Structure 1
Amino acid sequence: MTALAPAPIAATAPPGIRPYTAYVYAYPHKTAYRPLPDPPLLRDLWRGERKDALSLYLHIPFCEVRCGFCNLFTRIGAPDGLTGRYLDALERQATAVRDALGDDGPVTFANAAFGGGTPTFLTASELERLCDIAEHRMGADLRAVPLSVETSPATATADRLAVLAERGATRVSIGVQSFVAEEARAAVRPQRRADVEAALGRIRDARVPVLNIDLIYGIDGQTPATWRTSLDAALAWRPEELYLYPLYVRPLTGLARRTALTDRAWDEQRLDLYRRGRDHLLAHGYEQVSMRMFRLAGTAPRGPDDHACQTDGMIGLGCGARSYTSALHYSFDYAVDMGEIRGIIDDYTATADFTRAVHGRPTNGDEARRRHLLQSLLQAQGMPVADYRERFGAGPHEDFPAELAAFAARGWLDQDGAGPLLRLSPEGLAHSDALGPELFSPAVRAAMAAYEAK
């Protein structure tokens, strides 16, 4: 086995900076949400909102196993009848949401996604029903818009994939994390490489246009050589997309009870592996879209990029989904502990009235600016300054002078942040998980700090 060549830049973070502070995939963060004291009617929330290019997300909170690093809202398995009861509730919710959107203007969807959990935990017939809910209750034409679906090696069966392909899936994302058996065990992810390879073959046989493979770096015992093994195993399938995720050890997860890898050496290991993985993919014909996302050159996007999950105009269905209007982000309660999750799912399946938003956080003008800057700056293509100014009436350097000056001083901004395009340098992208949290507002920071994990 040949190890990767040394990374061209020394794997060292700026003094005092933890490069892996938090994965910023949405803002405000879900731990800043709270029960809404006067739950508003959905029809009032959506009145006046643009509804001609909505995003639709359906959440399935079930998995066959729970990986050691996972803090997603999901439970292991489902007692007899639970998936059916969950789909019944999902249909009731979809009916209420579509009614709330009204018919005073066009209501159309620009993209759709099934996530979780593991949507393919559902049987083939249940996946048919899930698609029917999206189409018949919400009015989404799944065959006419990009449709992304998450899966796992154990549940990517031929019958399920056939349903998804026939109903219009344009992208299937599979969490492999590592092709090395010892690393999979270290991440508390029971799987065999032969089963992973078989699942990848079935996805390719289903002829879904885009295959995405997720890999994780920073696993206990991982080396540059074993990281190269996983990268090359993934590249053998020539996936249209690859995500490289740093391992996080979060409260109440399996790994949190087994290890305490939180020191500086682990940060440096992850930075080194990130750079090696990035350079390896770039050398094999991939383009960097964000810190995590890489796309095969010449591949047309078949859905929103990774930042678009927080775009205004998001309709989330399911007890782990979030919805976004211009004034409020809302969802149901959130938990990581298995007992708490089971209780929330049971409450959801028993809910008859889905006409109000019950849990969320308002987004005022300052938060909207922060969201726009975050979701734009964390993309490799950067943000046109003129677009920001046109939307908010001032430039980003006027709204966030201290933050952008600090980023420039650390070498995180291309051309020190000057010019018409505000874009991260390669090192800025590498430190996305440190940069993002520095743009959180004091109010959101306080709410996150006060959140009690459950």
Structure 2
Amino acid sequence: MKPAAQSVSAQNTRPNEATPSLALYLHIPFCRTRCTYCAFNTYTGQDKLIEPYMRALAQEIRMVGDTDRRPAHTIYFGGGTPSLVPADLIALTLAACTETFALADPTEITLEANPATVDLEALKALRRVGINRLSIGMQSANASELALFARGHTTDDVRETVRLARRAGFDNLSLDLIYGNPGQTFEMWQTSLDAALGLEPKHLSMYSLGIEDGTPMQRWVARGHVETPDPDLAADMYEWATDRLAQAGFEQYEISNWAKPGYECAHNLQYWRDLPYLGLGAGAHGYAGGLRYSTVLRPADYIERMTTQHEPLPFPHTAAWLDSEVIDAQGEMAEIMVTGLRLTRTGIDTQAFQSRTGRSLWDVYGAQIRQLIRDGLLEQYGNHIRLTPRGRLLGNLVFEAFV
């Protein structure tokens, strides 16, 4: 049986290789509850807006394409909690993508799902309309941490969601985990990662908890209600996890991401390679046409704007834009370094850098690179410059050298 994604893209022509293929990020800002660490553009109690929002999103997709069927090879429904959206409305947006862009065959189409927000029939419906990759927000296998995060699901819910997803025909499953949490012991982290491995995902994303301004977690830490996370302990957790995942057959391809061979996330690789992507929906961010931009935040405002846009604007503009920034040549080179060095295996290809920018990497950043090599944070590997294992722990220090 053909992958469901092919039903979305079968009528499309193959992308023109001379035109950079886009990644499409579709932001779904609705949640049942808001996690205590979350600083994303998300909203609770607005379920009545889901249908008009998805219709507005389909309109933005059609309008942003201008008059050309530009090539695209990934679609990513992020949030928020995209698994709250009925499959028929997901299909509506995928149809708009098919009409507007020359989708690759097959296209990687990811949907983020929270455990216990989908049943078997909903998962089967998502598979039928073209979703071929699920990213499931597990976060922890410890009840106390899930309560601290206000996640609203249990570890049993995670297991059941994975089981049902496989019954529905999903093979490409990714799990998210968070470490370095207030009060988290090393043993608690080992329990979470081993539980995740027991579910046999193809991909794992693991993030050190960031204490973001304006979140309940930030207020609790500031007031002493919960412990301040220990960065040294988090570093130990990261190093142990790196070894544990290698033993389990996972390859680390980015600072926070591991995959079984062939299951790297093509959508996120677009970001790390500093290649163009469209961010669509309320509070989305995009990078295309030499511009970085963001869109209006509130779903109601977004819907209102999109209902008034009836003609395409010059690519990549839409009526949803809030602000934008032109990326000049120096800014582009800096972004290539900051994003590309996150790729742990390949890092920065010196020949590709020169081909893209017209400048020698060593002429532009030679002094910084040589110093970071002396500091043990970067290494040269053939034509590539990449982070050392120590550099992965101190990535922000490395990135600051190029900004």
**TM-score between both structures, scaled by the size of structure 2:** 0.85
> Residue 208 and residue 283 in structure 1: after superposition, are their counterparts in 2 closer, same or farther (change >3 A)?
same
Match of 1:389 among 354, 358, 363: 354
Structure 1 residue aligned with 2:5: none
Alpha-carbon distance in structure 2 between the residues aligned to 1:330 and 1:226: 39
Deviations 1:119-156 (A, max 9, x none): 111123322323233224x2454862111111110323
Structure 1 residue aligned with 2:107: 145
> Residue 418 and residue 145 in structure 1: after superposition, are their counterparts in 2 closer, same or farther (change >3 A)?
closer
The answer (yes or no) to whether the contact 1:69–1:250 under 8 Å persists in 2 is yes
Structure 2 residue aligned with 1:177: 139
Q: What does 1:3-402 align with in structure 2 at a 5 Å threshold? A: 51=19, 53-80=21-48, 82-98=49-65, 100=66, 102-103=67-68, 107-136=70-99, 138-139=100-101, 141=103, 144-260=106-222, 266-296=230-260, 298-301=261-264, 303-306=266-269, 308=271, 311-333=274-296, 344-351=298-305, 352-353=308-309, 355=313, 356=317, 358=321, 359-381=323-345, 382-402=347-367
The answer (yes or no) to whether the contact 2:159–2:199 under 8 Å persists in 1 is no
> Residue 194 and residue 418 in structure 1: after superposition, are their counterparts in 2 closer, same or farther (change >3 A)?
closer
Superposed displacement of residue 363, structure 1: 0.3
Superposed displacement of residue 328, structure 1: 0.9
The answer (yes or no) to whether the contact 1:58–1:318 under 8 Å persists in 2 is yes
Alpha-carbon distance in structure 2 between the residues aligned to 1:263 and 1:306: 34
Structure 1 ranges of 4+ moved more than 6 A: 261-265
> Residue 348 and residue 412 in structure 1: after superposition, are their counterparts in 2 closer, same or farther (change >3 A)?
same
Larger CA deviation: 157-166 vs 109-118: 157-166
Alpha-carbon distance in structure 2 between the residues aligned to 1:50 and 1:366: 24
The answer (yes or no) to whether the contact 1:156–1:203 under 8 Å persists in 2 is no
- Tell me which amino acid in the other structure corresponds to 1:372: I
Superposed displacement of residue 300, structure 1: 4.1
- Tell me which amino acid in the other structure corresponds to 1:217: Y
Alpha-carbon distance in structure 2 between the residues aligned to 1:395 and 1:263: 47
Alpha-carbon distance in structure 2 between the residues aligned to 1:96 and 1:214: 33
3-state SS of 1:221 partner: coil
**In angstroms, what is the RMSD of aligned CA positions?**
2.5
Alpha-carbon distance in structure 1 between the residues aligned to 2:369 and 2:45: 46
Deviations 1:276-308 (A, max 9, x none): 111111111111111100112x33446334453
The answer (yes or no) to whether the contact 2:182–2:227 under 8 Å persists in 1 is no
**TM-score between both structures, scaled by the size of structure 1:** 0.76
> Residue 207 and residue 272 in structure 1: after superposition, are their counterparts in 2 closer, same or farther (change >3 A)?
same
> Residue 79 and residue 165 in structure 1: after superposition, are their counterparts in 2 closer, same or farther (change >3 A)?
closer
- Tell me which amino acid in the other structure corresponds to 2:279: G
Alpha-carbon distance in structure 2 between the residues aligned to 1:71 and 1:323: 18
Alpha-carbon distance in structure 2 between the residues aligned to 1:139 and 1:307: 17
Alpha-carbon distance in structure 2 between the residues aligned to 1:318 and 1:265: 33
Alpha-carbon distance in structure 2 between the residues aligned to 1:309 and 1:112: 16
Runs of 5+ unmatched residues, structure 2: 1-16
Larger CA deviation: 255-264 vs 124-133: 255-264
Alpha-carbon distance in structure 2 between the residues aligned to 1:79 and 1:265: 34
Alpha-carbon distance in structure 2 between the residues aligned to 1:153 and 1:221: 24
- Tell me which amino acid in the other structure corresponds to 2:339: Q
Alpha-carbon distance in structure 2 between the residues aligned to 1:311 and 1:158: 37
- Tell me which amino acid in the other structure corresponds to 1:329: R
Structure 1 residue aligned with 2:376: 411
Superposed displacement of residue 437, structure 1: 4.0
- Tell me which amino acid in the other structure corresponds to 2:246: L
What is the count of residue pairs matched by the alignment?
374
The answer (yes or no) to whether the contact 1:388–1:395 under 8 Å persists in 2 is yes
Structure 1 residue aligned with 2:12: none
The answer (yes or no) to whether the contact 2:182–2:229 under 8 Å persists in 1 is no
Alpha-carbon distance in structure 2 between the residues aligned to 1:175 and 1:349: 27
- Tell me which amino acid in the other structure corresponds to 1:83: I
3-state SS of 1:252 partner: coil
> Residue 264 and residue 95 in structure 1: after superposition, are their counterparts in 2 closer, same or farther (change >3 A)?
closer
The answer (yes or no) to whether the contact 2:255–2:392 under 8 Å persists in 1 is yes
Superposed displacement of residue 268, structure 1: 0.7
> Residue 321 and residue 50 in structure 1: after superposition, are their counterparts in 2 closer, same or farther (change >3 A)?
farther
> Residue 309 and residue 128 in structure 1: after superposition, are their counterparts in 2 closer, same or farther (change >3 A)?
farther
> Residue 132 and residue 425 in structure 1: after superposition, are their counterparts in 2 closer, same or farther (change >3 A)?
same
Alpha-carbon distance in structure 2 between the residues aligned to 1:142 and 1:206: 24
The answer (yes or no) to whether the contact 2:202–2:259 under 8 Å persists in 1 is yes
- Tell me which amino acid in the other structure corresponds to 1:282: A
Superposed displacement of residue 391, structure 1: 2.1
The answer (yes or no) to whether the contact 2:87–2:129 under 8 Å persists in 1 is no
- Tell me which amino acid in the other structure corresponds to 2:287: Y
The answer (yes or no) to whether the contact 1:242–1:295 under 8 Å persists in 2 is yes
Runs of 5+ unmatched residues, structure 1: 1-48, 334-340, 441-454
> Residue 396 and residue 264 in structure 1: after superposition, are their counterparts in 2 closer, same or farther (change >3 A)?
farther
3-state SS of 1:423 partner: strand
The answer (yes or no) to whether the contact 1:59–1:114 under 8 Å persists in 2 is yes
Select the structure with the greater relative contact order (CA < 8 A; seq sep ≥ 6).
1
Between the aligned residues of both structures, percent identity stands at 28
